[in-house]
Structure 1
């Protein structure tokens, strides 16, 4: 029973990282496609201002996922990281380079340096979600199992490729939706229209890829396909579809914050549908939740840690997001510092 509870916690943490971290990766995608220095100046300005207060905190969800996998389901952790070490290593390198590129781009005074760091940030934002999605596709298709050696087929199969592309498209959707909302907060109607248009394009890509993925899993990941077309999995598939249509309707006009709610609901529901479709397996059809679970005492302590996080960490993160969406976390500019310095002298 406790193993099932912790498995649900793991799934929810993956969904949270898909939405929180996915929004940041999506911002990097639009940074990459913004165009040259002059054409992409204003979109990149918005990306810098929107991401700066909260971009680092989304890694909390990834740390939470890794801790639960490592301690709660050690066989799953060992199997996944042994069989698919290459895509996961590439994703990890991408995370490091992405953070470094974003942190160093803005303070760099040379144009060549800003371009270099910006390119590192943007390209890493594209590759990292792709490789994470490809690894998830390897799990869904059952190509990894306890004792499986590392092999290219584990993450370069049709399901993995589509999961990777779907991850990129979903992050692009979330990034554009949130950037459009931030454009309204910064009173930039031109950027609002700019990112709403791109969000609609990303939404169309997500819808097409989702349908193609559903058809491909029929033969390539039959257990997941059955789970997605019946029971709880189907419920979340329908919820994701409804949220997608609602997001499309809201994006056709300035929609306040509701497009963010529906966009997050669509992505979170899709991730949850995948997890529910795999039941009772962690890895279809070779490792069940019960078989992969750690010691009973470890699972109980993970439950305690989760409860503490719900009571302490999650409200703090929610407060951070709330402050950011209301413009309470704007960084000081050079002009602000000069004004304060002059005031102190007086």
Structure 2
């Protein structure tokens, strides 16, 4: 959801020493502390949907890739612990140890998840319980490539987000520091992405063919264009639009992977063959629709408060500008759309049920846009 920025922020604390390093550590913690755990919502979402909607594939992936998934889980736990303990304002050795723990976990987790994805993408996870090799399935050229790209991309997006936050808080020196880091890490990501096809050509030829033709190629081009645009925006100090273009670049390359593998999920198993029964898929679709009605508005409100500076240090209630009351009018079609979708979903079956789920998803998106819209200040 954050394009890996929550991991990359911890990476930038690695090696931050002295008074300047203390400012970097404080800024990264302050910027990511309110939102880092929101990313776990999507991690849980992916796991739950995968094991219920695609049980055979999930069992094969989880059993063969136990080691990297375990490493990623340890990294998530250590990262959460470091954020939690740092709220107590530790000093001295404790602060240094927590910062080191955050940095290492922020490298381990994206690398392990990327290595696992590389094992799946290169066809090293066969169907069956622990049917693949426990180590070569994720210690191979493609996995190392994807894992390294994941770490570098996380550092890149984090530098952009942190530069934008520093600019908003009036910390121009820190904004310039992270601008330079974004340019350097962006160039590194671009280099890895350009060299990546050479590795895939030799190690994962089906994936290479999918990424260099058809929809996979289109997604790759979108990612490349978005990446170049992001570098240009960062160079000019336009960090806010760079947030969106950086997220698009990451999302496009992930989409390209899926499109390149389509219709295969695992070797010898298509996406349709891996799917659970219709009743299970319908239940999942309905559950996701209802869940997003709650989740998306909540996330929109959280990010609006963060990006508007409500959680900035020293921001007291009296410092918050007065806001004009929102008109209830936009909420009426939103509630009507969501309510109609929920009613249709609960009362009907077949294609009408699909329409009901679609209406709920539309209501969730409208709610996200409504809550994410900035409030107008009164004068």
TM class by shorter chain equals 0.7 to 0.9
Post-superposition CA distance 1:2-47 (Å, at most 9, x none): xxxxxxxxxxxxxx3xx45x110010011114x2142301111111
From 10, 20, 27, the equivalent of 1:39 is 20
Q: Tell me the TM-score normalised to structure 2 length.
A: 0.80
1:138 aligns with 119
TM-fit CA distance, 1:312:
2.7
Asked if structure 1 preserves the Cα contact closer than 8 Å seen for 2:142 and 2:203, the reply is yes
Greater relative contact order (Cα 8 A, min sep 6): structure 1 or 2? 1
1:340 aligns with none
TM-fit CA distance, 1:92:
0.2
SS of 1:152's equivalent in the other structure is: coil
Unaligned runs of 5+ in 1: 1-15, 338-346
Structure 1 residue 318 corresponds to structure 2 residue 318: no
1:105 and 1:123 mapped to 2: Cα distance?
16
1:110 and 1:184 mapped to 2: Cα distance?
27
TM-fit CA distance, 1:218:
1.4
Map 1:58-97 → 2, pairs under 5 A? 58-97=39-78
2:203 and 2:158 mapped to 1: Cα distance?
30
Asked if structure 2 preserves the Cα contact closer than 8 Å seen for 1:102 and 1:118, the reply is no
Map 1:93-172 → 2, pairs under 5 A? 93-147=74-128, 148-172=131-155
Structure 1 residue 185 corresponds to structure 2 residue 168: yes
SS of 2:236's equivalent in the other structure is: coil
Asked if structure 1 preserves the Cα contact closer than 8 Å seen for 2:169 and 2:312, the reply is no
Asked if structure 1 preserves the Cα contact closer than 8 Å seen for 2:160 and 2:239, the reply is no
From 233, 237, 240, the equivalent of 2:220 is 237
TM-fit CA distance, 1:331:
6.2
TM-fit CA distance, 1:150:
4.1
Unaligned runs of 5+ in 2: 318-379
Structure 1 residue 222 corresponds to structure 2 residue 210: no
Aligned residue pairs, count? 315
Q: Tell me the TM-score normalised to structure 1 length.
A: 0.87
**Structure with greater Cα Rg:** 2
